[in-house]
Structure formats: structure tokens, C-alpha cells
Amino acid sequence: MGRNKTYTGYKAYQYLTPGIDYRVFKLRDAIKKEWAYLVPLLKAEEERVEEILEKSIVIDLHEHPTIMPENARESSAISREGREYLAYEALSHSGIDAVFDNLMNGSCNITSKHGWKWSDTIHDLGQRLCDIAHQEFVIHCKSVKDIVTAFETGKLAWVAVLESVSSIENEVDRLDILYGLGVRSMGLNYSESNMLGSGLAELRDGGLTDFGYDCIVRMNKVGILIDVSHVSDQTALDAIESSKKPLIVSHAGARELNPIARMFPDEVIHKLAENRGLIGIEAAPGYTATKDDPIPSIETYMQHLEYCIDLVGIEYVGCGPDSFYGDHVGLYRLEDEQLKSGGLGHYTRPGQKGDGLVVSVLPDYVKGMENPTECLQNITRWMVKHGYSDPEIVKVIGGNALRLLKKVW
């Protein structure tokens, strides 16, 4: 009964008193929006999509499924409060059975302008777990069994993820602590280098460090899924070689289609597949656009997905849209302003790569891939419309991810 969810009306932190227990922000409408879009289908195709979503376990490998402020300029202020708002109602309409929530610990700046601090990470995670403990629709997912249970009972499996393990500093035992708190997937770094290895934005690619190797060994032992989405090419190759378990690129695309650092070259995608890993295709504004079509949409997204299928086979491709319920483009524009002004202590180094995002060409929203409610449904609809078989679609929207998780967890 994956399509029929048992959501009963709970809103994030409704057990608290707004304005007394926490600061109130005007949040974006996560349900009815002028930018909502569904890939158009014939009646028979619509029925087929509904049947696929009803009978299949749908896994979203990378999201930030929270409701953000209506005004993107308030994003930093809400982050400093250390409380995110999981979009329970909107997620109940998404068709998703398991969502990998990458939290926002990189921008959780309660004690730091730059995020990734141990105390802030624990605060971020703990607040979310407290909220989830007060409702019955979302299950804190710690195993494959929890995903199956969510699918069978009309609930949503929520997977706690850290997009970077920078907060562990040089303490490998902190990986065990995070696992104990329910975190089941972690990125090695977030574009900037840390003690584990080089990030994709660095001027020089130093690859995986010895400490990074230590962490990979420990993550394999405890059962944490390793994500290399934001690392440099050499760090990714080193990590794949070092890991005894399959790794994941939870959200990226093909550099052959969009030649920026944020995308991966064929070599890395091949090595990932050879290790039985998986690439989840990214939909955040600008990244999975293409050289021929710089405006991101469901169409450019599917170009990246099909390219990777042709490159390594459909068994090694999944979905990691990396969206949220908020003004994603507005947030990028704000961050671009801060960067150009030398804000937050970052300065442009001569020759520095960055991630390749060009803010000036972005639309106001990504048509068909704007938020978690749209993404997996539209991917399914697009694949039905373009002649994919049911088994092929099931692999991409969750089957491949489930196979990988059984090996890692």
C-alpha cells in the first residue's frame, strides 16, 4: 500500500507553543503552489503510474524534506534557531516510502558561521528526533526492515543522513556515536576539504587521507552507507577502492553533459558501478542542466539519468533530487551575494574551481523537480511516457537502492 499513506494531520512541533517555545517564521506553502507541475499523460498511462507507485517501494536517496521560510533571506535566521520543519503533509502526497533526509547541519550555524560543528550536528539531529517521536506517520529508519514496514503500513521511513562527516573532527569513534543515534548514511566531505580528503571545490586534488581511510574502514564495520557526492574525483576513486562495501553518489550527474566540478566524469561513475554502487541523479537548480539546455527541468534531469543508464546499466542508477519545500533558487542567489561580498570569511582564490553553479542563468524554479512531492512522481511519469518497462522503472525509483542497502546495512 505504498501509495496510500496514513497521515493524520500532524504538523512539525505542534506539541510546542509557537512564539513561546520557539520563534515563528512564515513558512512556504508546501502543498498548493503556482509552480506545481506533473508530466502530462494519457489516462491509461496515469493508471499505470498509480499502479507502479502503489506496488513498488519508492526510495528518495537525497532530500532536505523540510519547509523553509517563504523569504529565502530568513534561511540563516531559522537555521540559527536549530529547528527544521519536516513537511509531513506534503510528503504524504509524494509517493515516497523512504526518504534520505540530509538535514541541514552544514548550514546549522547555532555556534558557528560555517556549520559542521559537533554540538550543532547533535542539536540538529536531536531536535528532529524529538519531533518525530511525537507523531506516528514517520518511522525513524534504521534498517531495511523499517523501509519494508513503512511501505506495508502506509507510513514514511525517514533516514537520518549527514552530508559531511566534518563534525567528527579527528575522532573516528564519533562515527559509532552517530550510528548509535540513528544516522545511516554520511558524505565524506561537502565540497571543501576536511580531514578525510579533498573536496570537489579545491584547487588541488589530494585524494583520500589516511584518516579518511580509517573512517571508511569504520563505516564499513558499523554499517554506515558512504556517500561521495561532494568529494573530489581522486577522493571518490580512492574511497571506492578502499571500501569493502558499495558506495553511493546520492546526488550528482554526468560531467559529460554538464562540465562542472559538481558532476562526475565517466571514470568515477564506472568505478562506482564496478563496486556495485549507485549514482542518484541530482535535480537541484543548475546542476543537472546540460551544455545544450542550461535551464534545469525534468527534461534535463532525465538526460542525466539516461546517460548514466547507457553508461553503466540501469541497475546502478537511482534518484537523489536534492530538493526542499522552499525557494531553492532564492537561496542560491543569496549565497552568491554573500560570496561576492567576501561574506562568511570566504574569498575567491585565483584558479579556484568552485562547484560550477552559474546563478545568473537559473529560472525561478525547476519545472517538474521543484520539491520532494513532485520529483519521484514525475520521474515515474516521464519513464512511463517514454516507453520504459515496469521492472525498469521499479529499479530506478527504489529497487536498486533497496538492493544496495541490503548489502551495506
Whether the Cβ atoms of residue 13 and residue 85 lie closer than 8 Å to each other: yes
Q: List the grid coordinates of 95.
A: 509517493
Q: What integer pLDDT is reported at residue 394 of this predicted model?
A: 98
Least confident of 118-122, 274-278, 359-363: 359-363
pLDDT value at 15 more than 90: yes
Q: What integer pLDDT is reported at residue 344 of this predicted model?
A: 66
Q: What integer pLDDT is reported at residue 112 of this predicted model?
A: 87
Alpha helices for 228-327 (secondary structure H): 233-242, 266-274, 298-312
Q: For the stretch 138-155, what's the b/e string if a residue is b when 16 or more beta carbons lie within 10 angstroms of its beta carbon?
A: bbebbebebbeebbeebb
Q: What integer pLDDT is reported at residue 312 of this predicted model?
A: 98
Q: In degrees to the nearest 10, what's the CA dihedral of 330, 123, 10, 49? A: 60
Of residues 299 and 343, more confidence is placed in 299
User: What angle, rounded to 10 degrees, do the helices at 372-385 and 43-55 form?
Assistant: 120
Q: How many CA atoms lie within 13 A of 136 on its CB side?
A: 6
Superfamily of segment(s) 43-408: Metal-dependent hydrolases (3.20.20.140)
Which of 178, 98, 175, 181 lies closest to 141, judged by CA? 98
pLDDT tens string 48-58 = 999 999 999 99
Which pLDDT band holds residue 20 (cuts at 50, 70, 90)?
A: very high
Whether the Cβ atoms of residue 321 and residue 63 lie closer than 8 Å to each other: yes
pLDDT tens string 76-106 = 899 999 999 999 999 999 999 999 999 988 8
Question: Facing residues of 319 across strands?
Answer: 281
Q: What integer pLDDT is reported at residue 4 of this predicted model?
A: 84
Helix (H, G, I), strand (E, B) or coil at 121: helix
Q: What integer pLDDT is reported at residue 342 of this predicted model?
A: 65
Q: Whole-prediction pTM value?
A: 0.97
pLDDT value at 9 more than 90: yes
Helix (H, G, I), strand (E, B) or coil at 332: helix
Q: What integer pLDDT is reported at residue 1 of this predicted model?
A: 58
Share the mean pLDDT of the chain.
95
Least confident of 34-38, 78-82, 250-254, 383-387: 34-38
pLDDT tens string 368-391 = 999 999 999 999 999 999 999 999
- 356's enclosing H/E stretch is none
